[in-house]
Chain A
């Protein structure tokens, strides 16, 4: 059973969750990726392995962590390894099937900027930086990205090249010596995008219910390519929505304060 009573953010999280399977070993970014990965775990993919860069492997948090290292992640993990081991053995060693990331800026070839807006040495906005993303992008077998669409975020040219998606397109990844697939899926609040098999330009393959091509174009700085076989994303089911809303409610309550007042 599906419903039309949902927000674009909810559609984004749910569409992203559907991309994950029970057999995935997923390196989870904080924010929207974390929500999507846990909805997948709480609905159709209960056996998915979720890994956070803090070293927690096979974690199953009851509430979404505010940071990538909340105690909830460690409490519910199969095991917790050092951050050094996480990046060396598990990520660099090729054990991750999907790296799931967010981004501040993205371009048509799914390259990511999370470093600066403006010039690096004289930035307009100093963003947090790459964190784990540069190596997640090159070492995970493939990359899913989830972020809201806006002209500020979907740019013609990145201010800084933090993490390599498909570079200038085509076979640029393999020319760089990168053997993994890179970004294969981009899920936004309006649509689902996949790279063209040859040019690697991100192409809209599915519009979320109620969204138009015009609306998608209005939030993107380059001329958007749409698939010849454009689909409509199935609306969220009642189950997906109730799981997402319950997770968000538990999370909001937990983050508002876990301090117990004592007399």
Chain B
């Protein structure tokens, strides 16, 4: 049953050191504010799952809070590499992390299997790739009817799923529109879920096949205007591509990174996100 909490209280209540957490949002609706709150609270030894780690995992990993990363594409999309993730894998700075690497198809299937309550996902994939040599969680299975060899991966069942959504009504029903990614699957697969939203409204004012998470599937709802920035929220504000481009030199240097995190994350609270989207709002 959805409870309306401050982001600080929601993170404190549901995420523990050593937990497995998924922060989803496929380019769109990435839960930046939630990740920053986790960093401020210093919750560590995390296993983090995300198809496209993006800046938030560069930051979580750079701050030394991650023990293991499960992912399928660790880049800054259209810009280059994730330099904090690289530094951790290549140089063990600030610590070494374990990685479990998949393809997008595998993780998308694994989230769906988690939402469906299945122990594993079966799909046609990993054919001829070397990923199964380095990842023992990629197995082959034969179809019991045709004999076709298929791939199997464990389903994803996180302790906590974090997503950002457009809005919630006062009961806590949540609306996601635009590129919906794997957020619905991530929430339904998780034991607990924390959903930040742009706004809380009286009526969702939606249509009959909309992507809705009913209030009883969500643990906590936190109103954080701009909470996806520099990712975007369809109909609210656009992707701040310049910030993604500007991140590269910051992340490339350990001291610049630490100074940036101190200034823009550790010394701030979720309320700063409303300022960060000024000038990016969708006006039409």
Give A160 to B178 CA distance when docked, in angstroms. 35
Q: Quick one: CB contact mask for B82-126 with A, threshold 8 Å, 1 for yes?
A: 100110011000000000010111001101100000000001111
**Residues on B facing A (Cβ under 8 Å):** 26-28, 51-52, 71-75, 77-79, 81-82, 85-86, 89-90, 101, 103-105, 108-109, 111-112, 123-131, 134, 148-149, 178-182, 184-185, 211, 232, 234, 238-242, 244-245, 278-280
Max chain A C-beta neighbours (<10 A), residue from B85, B232, B241, B280: B241
Q: By the criterion CB–CB under 8 Å, are A135 and B105 in contact?
A: yes
CB of A258 within 8 A of CB of B240, answer: yes
**Is the CB–CB distance between B245 and A134 below 8 Å?**
no
Contact A91 B105 (CB under 8 A): yes
Taking A127-B81, A259-B280 as contacts, is the C-beta distance between A134 and B111 under 8 angstroms? no
Taken together as a complex, chains A and B put the C-alpha atoms of A66 and B78 apart, in Å, by: 5
Q: Which residues of A contact B124 (CB under 8 A)?
A: 92, 135, 138-139
Are B280 and A138 within 8 A (Cβ)?
Answer: no
Contact (Cβ within 8 A) B126 A65: no
Closest-CB distance, B64 to chain A (whole angstroms): 18
Tell whether A38 is near chain B: CB-to-CB under 8 Å. Answer: no
A259 contacts across to B, CB distance below 8 A: 240, 242, 278-280
Main secondary structure of the interface of A (DSSP, over half): loop
Residues in B neighbouring A88, C-beta threshold 8 A: 105, 108-109, 112, 123
Given known A54-B26, A134-B126, A161-B129, contact A83–B51 (CB-CB < 8 A): yes
Q: Which residues of B contact A31 (CB under 8 A)?
A: 78
Q: How many A-B residue pairs have CB under 8 A?
A: 200
* Given known A-B contacts A130-B72, A131-B73, A132-B103, A84 and B112 have beta carbons under 8 A apart: yes
Contact B178 A74 (CB under 8 A): yes
* A129 lies within 8 A of B239 (CB): no
**9 more CB-based (< 8 A) A-B contacts, given A129-B75, A130-B131, A138-B124:** A66-B244, A67-B27, A80-B178, A82-B180, A83-B180, A84-B111, A123-B90, A161-B128, A259-B278
In the complex, A120 has a CB within 8 A of chain B: yes
Complex Cα spacing A70 to B179, Å: 9
Let me know if A66 and B79 touch, CB within 8 A.
Answer: yes
A120 engages B134 (CB within 8 Å): yes
Contact of B241 among A123, A138, A255 (CB under 8 A): A255
